[in-house]
């Protein structure tokens, strides 16, 4: 359980104090507000705040005075049109603020998404907790032999046990030294901003992360994708579930056009047209490289 009893009491207090507002609210995301969704062994994602709903997207697209809604069906059609035609600014009218607890090596990948606002826990000011990501045995894989940037089969038996022992022992040894260095018991105590430098990248950090829906969809497309590393993908998956409850029409369009859809190059489109006419197209006659052809075959099945 990632929250301490005191932290849980704070979450409960917030959830026990409903407020009335003239702003648009969405029951689907209200149920998530403040509650942590556990991710990995010590991490979580929780919604701190949100602005807008499906109809806010239509309201902005129509630049309307009222709610922007004509009918649910009409709104869904408009949202799908906007998504299909990359008319992205109406999606920027919705925002979400998340509190995320994540290993530092995941944070390094996450922070590359520059179109968000971030405030991270200060390890200059505060002492980090003894919390390290240790992969579950079913996520302890060998290096992939076909993809340099990926994993292969699971490690097994003695090798798996040895790796887990090394990860745990190294994490704890580094943290013991961290504690020894910052201690002011009979010594000056090294500054926290320096002592943290020997901590491994599997230690957990936390941040508040605020992003608009357009850029969140971009993040999810890249990080909820099978090519993303498992440890960031599970965060993206947890966020995706929340977004589906928040803006169901926009999320449905995103799933259809972005997650489930595919983009074809002009060469790819030409091959599809030739195939539809009955031509037997091969990589050699496609005009595509081997890599492109492999991906093209993956798309058309
Ligand atoms: C599977 C995978 C593997 C990856 N491997 C590597 C790797 O090996 N090494 C590595 O360094 N990174 C790697 N990345 C990170 C990747 O290159 C991007 O940095 C990251 O996905 C963020 O994407 P973004 O820049 O589109 O997002 P954001 O920063 O959120 O930007 C969104 C969009 O805004 C625009 N934008 C934002 N800032 C600027 C700017 N300053 N100038 C111009 N346009 C801007 C761009 O159109 C951009 O697409 C990987 C990512 C994935 C998903």
- Residue-level pLDDT at 88: 97
Task: Give the H or E element holding residue 285.
Answer: helix 283-286
Tens of pLDDT, residues 27-59: 999 999 999 999 999 999 999 999 999 999 999
Atom of ligand 1 nearest to the CA of 228: 1
Domain ranges of the chain: 5-133+202-259, 136-200, 266-300
- Residue-level pLDDT at 116: 98
- Residue-level pLDDT at 237: 98
Q: Whose CA is nearest to atom 18 of ligand 1?
A: 112
- Residue-level pLDDT at 96: 98
- Residue-level pLDDT at 44: 98
CA quadruple 236, 241, 246, 249: dihedral sign: positive
- Residue-level pLDDT at 65: 77
What is the phi-psi region of residue 63: left when phi exceeds 0, alpha when psi lies from -120 to 50, beta otherwise?
A: left
The burial class, CB within 10 Å (0-12 / 13-18 / 19+), for 57 is: buried
Q: Whose CA is nearest to atom 42 of ligand 1?
A: 114
- Residue-level pLDDT at 144: 85
**209 assigned to a ligand binding site:** no
The whole-number mean pLDDT for each consecutive block of 10 residues of the chain, a chain of 301 residues, reads 86 92 95 97 98 96 76 88 96 98 98 98 93 95 84 91 97 98 97 96 98 98 96 98 98 97 95 97 96 93 86
Q: Kindly calculate the radius of gyration of the chain based on its CA atoms and give it in whole angstroms.
A: 24
CA angle 254, 30, 96 (to 5 degrees): 50
**122 assigned to a ligand binding site:** yes
Is 223 annotated in the active site?
Answer: yes
Whether 113 lines ligand 1, by a CB cut-off of 6 Å, is yes
Whether 215 lines ligand 1, by a CB cut-off of 6 Å, is yes
Whether 85 lines ligand 1, by a CB cut-off of 6 Å, is no
Tens of pLDDT, residues 60-114: 999 887 766 667 778 999 999 999 999 999 999 999 999 999 999 999 999 999 9
DSSP states of 205-274: EEEEEEEEHHHHHHHHHHHSSTTS-HHHHHHHHHHHHHHHHHSHHHHHHHIIIIIS-----HHHHHHHHH
- Residue-level pLDDT at 1: 56
Separation of CA 117 and ligand 1 centre (Å): 15
Distance CA 42, CA 65 (A): 45
CATH fold group of domain 5-133+202-259 = Gyrase A; domain 2 (3.30.1360)
Distance CA 128, CA 136 (A): 22
């Amino acid at each position: 359980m990632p929250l301490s009893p005191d932290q849980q009491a704070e979450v409960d207090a917030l959830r026990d104090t409903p407020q009335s507002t003239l702003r648009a609210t969405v029951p689907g995301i209200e149920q998530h507000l403040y509650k942590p969704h556990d991710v990995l062994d010590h991490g979580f994602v929780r919604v701190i705040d949100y602005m807008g709903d499906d109809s806010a997207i239509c309201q902005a697209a129509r630049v309307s005075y009222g709610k922007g809604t004509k009918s649910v069906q009409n709104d869904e059609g408009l949202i799908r049109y906007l998504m299909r035609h990359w008319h992205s600014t109406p999606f920027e009218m919705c925002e979400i603020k998340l509190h995320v607890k994540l290993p530092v090596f995941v944070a390094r990948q996450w922070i590359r998404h520059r179109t968000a606002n971030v405030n991270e826990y200060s390890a200059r000011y505060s002492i980090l907790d003894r919390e390290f990501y240790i992969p579950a045995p079913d996520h302890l894989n060998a290096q992939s032999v076909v993809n340099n940037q990926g994993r292969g089969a699971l490690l097994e038996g003695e090798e798996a046990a040895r790796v887990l022992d090394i990860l745990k022992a190294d994490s704890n040894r580094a943290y013991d030294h961290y504690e020894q260095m910052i201690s002011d018991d009979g010594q000056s105590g090294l500054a926290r901003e320096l002592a943290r430098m020997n901590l491994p990248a599997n230690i957990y950090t936390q941040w508040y992360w605020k992003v608009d829906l357009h850029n969140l969809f971009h993040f999810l497309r890249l990080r909820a994708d099978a090519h993303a590393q498992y440890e960031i993908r599970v965060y993206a998956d947890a966020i995706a579930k929340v977004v589906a409850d928040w803006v169901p029409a926009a999320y449905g369009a995103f799933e259809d056009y972005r997650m489930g859809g595919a983009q074809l190059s002009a060469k790819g489109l030409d091959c599809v047209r030739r195939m539809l006419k009955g031509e037997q197209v091969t990589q050699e006659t496609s005009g595509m490289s081997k890599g492109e052809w492999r991906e093209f075959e993956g798309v058309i099945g």
